[in-house]
Structure 1
Amino acid sequence: MERVNPATGEALDPIEADDEAAVEAALATADEAFESWRDVPLAEREELLASAADVLRENEAEYAELMTAEMGKPLAAARSEVQKCAWVCDYYAEHAGEHLQDERVGAEPGVDSFVAYEPLGPILAVMPWNFPFWQVFRFAAPHLTSGNVGLLKHASNVPGCAEAIEEVFREAGYPEGVFQTLLVGSDAVDGIVEDDRLKAVTLTGSEYAGRAVAETAGAELKKTVLELGGSDPFVVLDDADVAAAAATGARARTINSGQSCIAAKRFIVHEDVSDEFVEAFVAEMEALDVGDPHEDVDLGPQARADLMEDLHEQVERSVEAGATVELGGEPLDRDGFFYPPTVLTDVPRDAAVAEEEVFGPVAPIFEVADETEAIALANDTDLGLGGSVWTEDRERGTRLAREIESGAVFVNELTKSDPRLPFGGIGDSGYGRELGKMGIHEFVNRKTVWVQDAEMPEDEPAGE
């Protein structure tokens, strides 16, 4: 697999891909490993997960450097990502037993009826490059601990991260085959999904990839969980703390150099505070440092040249449609794939940055007359992953949060994932949930068990 350092445009050492024989061997190993792994006591699986958290913390610098080299994440952010992976391991090491304990359901006197949560088997995780460790660990931490085994098909530009993640579990003491990496291209996914030994699939990626995997899995009657991106609204109402909204909004738009599914993608601002917000927001975006991700910067490069080109093409089409560039708007003239923080105003409702997911540090601002128009515009998308509402009235914020059609809404905070809370979307953003109690229940058999004493049938009445 070819790799390119996005900060320099220079090639990294390639990593050898797996052939069909290696994939077949991995599936056979996973199938065999599941038979014994499912019977390992839950307390032992929790202890192994806690050990994985220790391995992550011990090797934080190494894993962060690997992310920075392969996909350009600023080094400080990469270290934070490793820490978050350790956190999700800690969470399920502490709470998996609580989430997976039998749930008693009253039925009849003398009957013991309950729901048991049992693992399904080998699960394929198709994961993206933008959070190359976190996306994998939010799958692996709950679902390995519930007794499943994992097969990772990672994005082709982060194969080093994929290998490192497998090594984390190996160093933590997991048995052979409980977690394996498959270094294969997207063309191999259908065949893996169709294999009878595989029981379920989770994918984080594009809508196109999600539809393709769901179609194949559906034909095989296999469970899927999909997270397919977002076009998250960031709504600033007339009673908002504008300075706080602008400061947080700049972070919300540029986390991971703007390459986040739950980044703020559309800024919807009440006309009474629009001028004030634009001035403050542009100042916040302009103050962000862009540069070598090994340095103390806020933004690194875009992960690939084609991604930067696609982003700039969206900006150009939007400007042609009538948008005004307040800041940025052109790739930086330097080696690597750098795009600056960019702010667009006067954005037509049918412009590219309004109708398409924008995966980079580009912020379109839309002015609205009232909260009714704000909610209508917030919901004017097929993507429903996250959202943010800014108001000093908590009751108003709660009411409008309920009206936004998405998997999550944060009031006076940026949208974020948290091991303790369910994460996922609706509409074209996908279905199913990761994280929290709901997340660990996605890939288990919710088995109903009914137990009562055996009773002899009553004698039938004697005949005449």
Structure 2
Amino acid sequence: MKRLRNIIDGTPAEAANPQWRDVVNPATERVVAQIPVGSAADAAAAVESARRAHPAWARLDLADRLAHLSRIADNLERHVRELAELENEEMGKPIPLAEQFIAGGIAALRHNIERARSYPFIADVTAPGESGRTIVVREPVGVVGLIVPWNFTVTSILGALGPLLAAGNTVVIKPSEKAPLSAARLIELFELPPGVTNLLLGDARAGKPLAEHKDVKLLHFTGSVEAGRSVGTAAAARIQRAVLELGGNDPVLVDADVDVAATAKAVATSTFINSGQICTSSERIYVHRAVADEFIAALVAEAKTWTMSDNPYAQGLGPLVDDTQRAIVRAHVRDAVDRGATVLCGGEQPDRPGYFYPATVLTGLTSDMRIMKEETFGPVAPVTVVDSFADAIDLANATSFGLAATVYSSNPENLRRCTEINAALVWINEWQHGGVNTIHEPWGLSGMGASGAAASFDAATRPMSMLYSSTTNVPSARI
């Protein structure tokens, strides 16, 4: 049995708590590894390692830190398949999909390396006519707790790590207890100075003391609303900052003027890819009555092409991460049916090994159903027919969440109204696309704290102003 260990000061470290928990392959239901359950002592050791490493890392020239990060990106390019296979083993993601997103994470790391070269870590903001000079210096915050979800472990780490490390912070990385294999291998591949990145394994017994540790100056968390509320509360209690990306119940708005077949295919992808286990999966679909019948028929036809498979190289539906997650999906569908919804395809748990659930399309939804109020995180497409685009916006906003939304329309007036949608990201006529300068902040229960582009560097630094009198020679700055 493979037993993973924390990585502290650059070397494997034994856990203080002698208990272990299983890591299960969700396609086979077989135990593939074990990890320590975690403890406050483990969290303290990881934070202390990061605290000791911080001064030397922060004093390095920016060019030297970026050289380290560039070597990481180069090395990871040679290990994409290996990391993808580990993500498949720990949470069931098809290997081709895992490779695609891991490559995207490496690209994000490279982009942030380049952005760091022009980010104003030191800026002369002296206004014309002012006496003296004002220099704003953005210093690293110190030790960062990076807590990542199980659905995109590698991509989540790489997406956050560039600004954090480039700015001079050190990091304790806490992966989900459901999917630690890829994180453990990823950190082995970093080859950074000891203590700059540390791996903390375990469940809430490791995560809670990390969030509450007095020396953690920034918590960067992606996960559920319940856990995010606990993390945010811990940060607030210490008067420290947190960046939280939490759940979603993302709407899709389908207007009357769409290419129905193409739109149904796109919506099926955004609903069923990774078995619906994406924070920005399409979970509520509002379609204009003028095209509703045709769209629903096309969506059902598309859903039937998303077949369940335990072949790790297949592009269809892999398993859900565990039976707990499948039980949530099953309960949401059952609740909807009990309240009058109609199942057009799927909707029944298969009798086979693995935590599989079929691509499912529902109609006849009402606002009191759990599937319309809560995050399902599974391969289920609930479709509601609306009489107008305005009605679609109203229903899209009838939620406590606000992570992302997708709009399919060519109507200029309706497109102008998309700013009325309560979401951090609004994709127009293509799901999951976007430029490198995207900045977004979740709305409502979906989180808080802006991220993306310069905002991620802002979150990773603390601005201070150096105010020099007119008689002072300003020293040359070192970044």
- TM class, shorter-chain normalised? over 0.9
Question: How far off is 1:392 after superposition?
Answer: 1.7
Deviates more, 1:25-34 or 1:189-198: 189-198
Counterpart in the other structure of 2:168: 147
Counterpart in the other structure of 1:61: 81
Partner of residue 109 from structure 1, selected from 130, 152, 177: 130
Partner of residue 186 from structure 2, selected from 165, 171, 174: 165
Matched, 1:436 2:456: no
Show structure 2 runs of 5+ residues with no match.
Answer: 1-20, 473-479
Residue 161 of structure 1 aligns to a residue whose secondary structure is helix
- For residues 365-387 of structure 1, the C-alpha deviation after alignment (integer angstroms, 9 at most, x for no partner) is 01111111111001000100000
- For residues 36-81 of structure 1, the C-alpha deviation after alignment (integer angstroms, 9 at most, x for no partner) is 1111111111121111111211011111110000000001011112
Counterpart in the other structure of 2:152: 131
Partner of residue 403 from structure 2, selected from 365, 368, 385: 385
Deviates more, 1:188-197 or 1:177-186: 188-197
Counterpart in the other structure of 2:14: none
Matched, 1:396 2:392: no
Alignment of 1:259-274 (within 5 A): 259-274=277-292
Show structure 1 runs of 5+ residues with no match.
Answer: 456-464
- For residues 84-125 of structure 1, the C-alpha deviation after alignment (integer angstroms, 9 at most, x for no partner) is 111011101111121244344343434322422210000101
Residue 299 of structure 2 aligns to a residue whose secondary structure is helix
Letter in 2 for 1:328: G
Partner of residue 205 from structure 1, selected from 217, 223, 230: 223
Question: How far off is 1:29 after superposition?
Answer: 1.3
Partner of residue 47 from structure 2, selected from 27, 30, 34: 27
Question: How far off is 1:416 after superposition?
Answer: 5.2
Alignment of 1:203-352 (within 5 A): 203-352=221-370
TM-score of the superposed pair, with normalisation by structure 1: 0.93
Counterpart in the other structure of 1:43: 63
Residue 199 of structure 1 aligns to a residue whose secondary structure is strand
Contact 2:132 2:471 in 1 (8 A): no
Letter in 1 for 2:244: L
Residue 244 of structure 1 aligns to a residue whose secondary structure is helix
Contact 1:238 1:273 in 2 (8 A): yes
What RMSD, in angstroms, separates the aligned Cα atoms of the two structures? 1.7
- For residues 323-371 of structure 1, the C-alpha deviation after alignment (integer angstroms, 9 at most, x for no partner) is 1101100112211011111000111121121111110010100111111
Aligned length: 451
TM-score of the superposed pair, with normalisation by structure 2: 0.90
Deviates more, 1:217-226 or 1:184-193: 184-193
Counterpart in the other structure of 1:460: none
Residue 409 of structure 1 aligns to a residue whose secondary structure is strand
Tell me the percent identity. 34
Question: How far off is 1:449 after superposition?
Answer: 2.7
Question: How far off is 1:17 after superposition?
Answer: 4.8
**1: distance between equivalents of 2:440 and 2:355?**
30
- The 1:180/1:304 distance shift into structure 2, 3 A limit, reads same
Residue 389 of structure 1 aligns to a residue whose secondary structure is strand
Partner of residue 411 from structure 1, selected from 428, 431, 441: 428
Question: How far off is 1:208 after superposition?
Answer: 0.7
**1: distance between equivalents of 2:89 and 2:461?**
36
Counterpart in the other structure of 1:81: 101
Counterpart in the other structure of 2:444: 427
Contact 1:3 1:12 in 2 (8 A): yes
Counterpart in the other structure of 1:461: none
- The 1:208/1:335 distance shift into structure 2, 3 A limit, reads same
Runs of 4+ deviating beyond 6 Å: none
Question: How far off is 1:297 after superposition?
Answer: 2.5
Deviates more, 1:430-439 or 1:366-375: 430-439
**2: distance between equivalents of 1:102 and 1:293?**
51
Letter in 1 for 2:196: V
Counterpart in the other structure of 1:177: 195
Letter in 2 for 1:236: V
